[in-house]
Amino acid sequence: MKILITGLGNSGKSTLREKLAEHCLKNHSLHQVFDCDRDHLRMPTEDDFEDDTLYFVEDVHGLTSEAFYPIKFYDEIYYVLPSWLTHLRLWFFRMWIWFKRGKFGFDPDTKISDGWRGSGIPYDTTNIRPILKELKRAFKWRNNWIVYDDTSLKQSKKPITFVTPKIKKRKIIFYINNKNTQWPDIL
């Protein structure tokens, strides 16, 4: 089974992917996880996927024409959608990490050698303005991306699980289909 994990940028997709992998390990389930941004050079071809393995493929562009694999490739879609406030909090966490590292805005397709922008100098104040621009862009386009994704989800005719991340005590807790069921308790 091939599951696409997608949603807005910086919404908790990687954390969800990691939690699902941990759950599979505990239950001795045969699985593999991929991040289309970070693993793009080692992604298998569509023919390399096996029927007896559970695959979690994270792709922020999974519902767009820039997707690594087409939507029809997947058996199910997990769409991660935080509330506006949770999304802002996740962005603040991310922006702090970027500032500490001196690198921000990872894009594997950039001409920069490691895919990161920024000075590369930890705590460099010259990175603050472009990091804030990333935040502004994300929230300026947030609603448009949600509408676009909603249209793509409906057209896909795939089973969809909506996953809502919430932050409690500095940890991300996931809820499914807007119910009070925590993930991965329901797996």
Closest to 156 in 3D by CA, of 33, 24, 19, 64: 64
Using CA atoms, how far residue 27 sits from 24, 30, 34, 123, 126, in Å, is 5, 9, 19, 41, 47
pLDDT tens, per residue, the chain with 187 residues: 999 999 999 999 999 999 999 999 998 889 999 999 888 788 999 999 999 999 999 999 999 999 999 999 999 999 999 999 999 999 999 999 999 999 998 876 666 667 788 999 999 999 999 999 999 999 999 999 999 999 999 999 999 999 999 999 889 999 987 555 555 544 3
Structural domain range at position 32: 2-183
CATH number for 150:
3.40.50
| Residue 169 CB contacts under 8 Å (≥ 6 apart), including other chains | none
State the total domains in the chain: 1
